[in-house]
């Protein structure tokens, strides 16, 4: 685990602070709800960050709901690494999810040394890219890029279409008066243990907080089958998280 911690640290240290600042008047011609979201999420004059480091806690469904603590680094144009700690049967379990430089992987270890799970390959990479796309809401400067194509959807929904290291993503954001209430996308996965395929995935945003000029989702409920609220609550939800700290660079 020391090596993986070093990977997270080295990813964070590889990024220089953003030199440009956010200018709401410089935004291109966008749907009004998109403009309202971006100006709510990023304060005028805030550096357009290239990375964010998050400290979080919550519960994750691994057989049953278990408390966890985690750190995550998200870097624009490279991806993310997420490290978590929890306990099962009184023993320490550490896990990692990553999508970095075009490759995804997952691993969980018991008592630091006993492998519990390893996963990699094309399906895991494609699924991890979907996670990285959804988590752009924690680094909204990503969504200010000229490479993001916006369109208005139904009701208060707007869509951001962009590529995550070659993997296409169509992110649906439910926005009301600039505040983000939900994020979703078709994500590659197999939540029922069957073949991998696109499954509606997303998160409800229950609370937001402001860090370093960025207003981001700070309490979320995350899971599969996002197009069916009853099924989401019954079998899709697997992650509830609160952000304790966010540092932007």
Banded pLDDT at 58 (limits 50, 70, 90): very high
Reduced to 3 states (helix: H, G, I; strand: E, B; else coil), residue 193 is coil
Reduced to 3 states (helix: H, G, I; strand: E, B; else coil), residue 46 is coil
- Report the pLDDT value the prediction gives residue 77, as an integer from 0 to 100: 87
E strand intervals along 27-155: 51-62, 64-75, 79-88, 91-100, 103-110, 114-120, 149-152
Q: What is the mean pLDDT of the chain?
A: 94
* pLDDT tens, residue by residue, 179-202: 999 999 999 999 999 999 999 999
DSSP bridge partners of 59: 67, 240
In degrees rounded to 5, what are phi and psi of residue 180? -85, 125
- Report the pLDDT value the prediction gives residue 153, as an integer from 0 to 100: 87
Mean pLDDT along residues 52-70: 96
- Report the pLDDT value the prediction gives residue 173, as an integer from 0 to 100: 98
Cα pseudo-dihedral 146, 148, 149, 151, rounded to 10: -120
| Alpha carbons 243 and 131: distance in angstroms, whole number | 17
Domain with residues 2-248, CATH architecture: Clam (2.50)
Banded pLDDT at 1 (limits 50, 70, 90): very low
- Report the pLDDT value the prediction gives residue 85, as an integer from 0 to 100: 95
């Amino acid at each position: 685990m020391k090596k993986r911690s070093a990977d997270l640290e080295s990813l964070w240290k590889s990024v220089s602070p953003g030199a440009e600042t956010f200018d709401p008047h410089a935004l291109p011609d966008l749907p009004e709800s998109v403009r309202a979201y971006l100006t709510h999420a990023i304060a005028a004059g805030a550096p357009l960050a290239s990375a964010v480091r998050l400290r979080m806690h919550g519960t994750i469904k691994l057989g049953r709901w278990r408390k966890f603590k985690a750190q995550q680094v998200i870097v624009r144009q490279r991806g993310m690494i997420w490290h978590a700690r929890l306990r099962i049967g009184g023993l320490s379990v550490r896990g990692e999810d990553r999508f970095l430089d075009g490759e995804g992987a997952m691993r969980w270890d018991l008592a630091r040394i006993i492998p519990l799970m390893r996963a990699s390959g094309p399906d895991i990479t494609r699924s991890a890219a979907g996670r990285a796309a959804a988590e752009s809401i924690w680094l909204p400067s990503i969504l200010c890029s000229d490479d993001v194509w916006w369109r208005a959807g139904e009701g208060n929904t707007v869509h951001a279409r962009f590529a995550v290291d070659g993997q296409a993503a169509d992110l649906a954001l439910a926005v009301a008066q600039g505040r983000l209430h939900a994020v979703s996308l078709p994500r590659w996965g197999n939540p029922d243990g069957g073949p991998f395929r696109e499954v509606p995935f997303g998160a409800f945003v229950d609370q937001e907080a402001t860090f370093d000029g960025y207003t981001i989702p700070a309490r979320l409920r995350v899971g599969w089958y996002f197009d069916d609220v009853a099924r989401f609550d019954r079998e899709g939800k697997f992650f509830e998280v609160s952000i304790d700290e966010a540092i932007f660079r």
